[in-house]
A and B are shown apart, each in its own frame.
Chain A
Amino acid sequence: MSDSTVAQQLYSPLNQIHLDAGASFTDFAGWQMPVRYSSDLAEHHAVRACAALFDLSHMGEILVLGPEAADALDYALAGKLSTIAVGQAKYSLLLARDGGIIDDLVVYRTGEDRYLVVANASNRDVVAAELLDRCSPFECEVQDESDDIALIAIQGPRALEILQELPGLHVAGLAELRYYWSVAGMFGEHAVLLARTGYTGEDGFELYLAPEAAPALWEALAETGAGSGLVPAGLASRDTLRLEAGMPLYGHELGLDIFPAQAGLARVVNLSKEGDFVGRAPIEAQSADAEMRVLVGLRSSGKRAGRAGYEIFADATSTAPVGLITSGALSPTLGYPIAMAYVDPKCADVGAELFIDVRGTRVAASVTPLPFYKRESN
């Protein structure tokens, strides 16, 4: 956000472990984070077939606590957070006053008057500032705890069994924990919040804990999971995994110029909740407007993937684009190119045949339902 943070390189508490593992790094919102350890594809396949570890310590964690924390979040966010149970989590949006999307969030209710709001790293400051502002009329406090919370995700079909074997982890009811629920526990002498959430389309868990405890947890997980095929995985594979799972990424599918309905997230905006919330009026006013581009999935044959920023056309020769790709890759799991794109509503029906301009060549693509990939045991 501020100029003073631009020059400052931020490091995960796991940075030394990544260096020792020979990771390649990328800058992500000022953080030096692993982009891959060995191979993007191997790390991607490990998540689908066994399990992988992700360091997500760059994510923002903001606490909202106090007697009116639930009411405050009902006003500040698009969803109704007051009705989720203690232990439950909810995907939500922080809307701008004009209804655009400031960030997408996962909100964990960790107590009757206690919530943990997890924001994208690039939006941490703006989310914290907006929450502070929006919650100020309510009896609650907003605390940006990002510097004091590390986050490790273990994702993949074998994630549960690895956690069950993890020495030092004490969590009640781990196997019974439902998707989008969390439970407080201990790792050694450190408190840990363990949630059955993720961003890969696979079963998995996310573990929030103090930065000083993160290296020991990472190494214990790596050691325990080694026999199950667990590998560390970087942000490159995380991106192809979430794309296959049809999950939006802020800055690609989501942004200030995107309304939730365009992104297929109308269900996340709870217009039936009583009372006002930020972004409600403009979203209610626009519901009849059908001219906005909408998010669709595209698949094509061959190997040439449309990528973010590539234009979409209705036929092989027209010069006026009907859409724009926001994310795209050759799907490692499916073997064909996939993309998410915003297209004109008249082109958005499943089965519509469109063309992607791949660096000057028009590549045929058809509109396909999201997600591209869904795990079998859903």
Chain B
Amino acid sequence: MPEQSTLQYTAEHEWVLIENDVATIGITAYAAEKLGDVVFVDLPNNGASVTTGTVIGEIESTKSVGELFAPVNGEVTEVNDAVVDSPELVNSDPFGAGWLVKIRFIELPELMTFAEYSVLVGE
């Protein structure tokens, strides 16, 4: 599990781990907590091309539906099948086993630092 302080963040409460030209994306513990128990995750197909800021998936709890936004332009290189089978991983390990997709990006937009995101969620 990556250190939260080394991740980058979006205002949509997603975290982004940059490794070379691939971004691994998940939702933050804050977002998971707000959603409640996640019971269904809908992710894009492998190879899908995605555009920054567009909805590429859905995360449903018993109570509500959260949208997954692409934080970068690029192509989906991997989706987390484990989280599709066991959506509760989003709650139990949001920064680790609960990761959602990997996207090979073309250019990296400006994202939030851990400190900036902490301010956003008031922690």
Contact = CB atoms under 8 A, between A and B. Distances in A.
Interface of A: 24, 35-36, 39-42, 44, 236, 239-240, 303-305, 307, 329-330, 332, 359
B36 A236 contact: yes
A1 to B, nearest CB: 27
Task: Sort A-B residue pairs by CB-CB distance and give the 5 closest, nearest first.
Answer: A303-B40, A41-B37, A40-B36, A40-B37, A330-B39
Contact of B60 (A24, A240, A330, A332): A330
Contacts, number: 42
Nearest to A24: B33
B60 A40 contact: no
Contacts of B40: 303-305, 330
A304 B62 contact: no
Contact of B62 (A24, A236, A359): A236
A231 to B, nearest CB: 14
A329 B62 CA distance: 6
B61 interface: yes
A44 B91 CA distance: 17
Contacts of A39: 36-37, 91
Given A303-B39, A303-B40, A330-B39, A41 B33 contact: no
B75 interface: no
Contacts of B61: 40
Given A304-B60, A305-B60, A330-B60, A359 B65 contact: yes
5 contacts: A39-B36, A39-B91, A44-B62, A236-B62, A303-B39
Interface size class of B (residues with CB under 8 A): 10 to 19
B12 interface: no
Given A39-B37, A41-B37, A307 B62 contact: no
B68 to A, nearest CB: 13
A40 B62 contact: yes
A328 to B, nearest CB: 10
Given A236-B36, A303-B39, A332 B65 contact: no
Contacts of B33: 24
Nearest to B87: A303
Contact of A36 (B36, B64, B65): B36
A331 to B, nearest CB: 9
Interface in B51-110: 58, 60-65, 91
B6 to A, nearest CB: 27
B63 A329 contact: yes
A35 to B, nearest CB: 8
B63 A236 contact: yes
B36 to A, nearest CB: 5
Nearest to A243: B62
B112 to A, nearest CB: 23
B69 to A, nearest CB: 14
Contacts of A329: 62-63
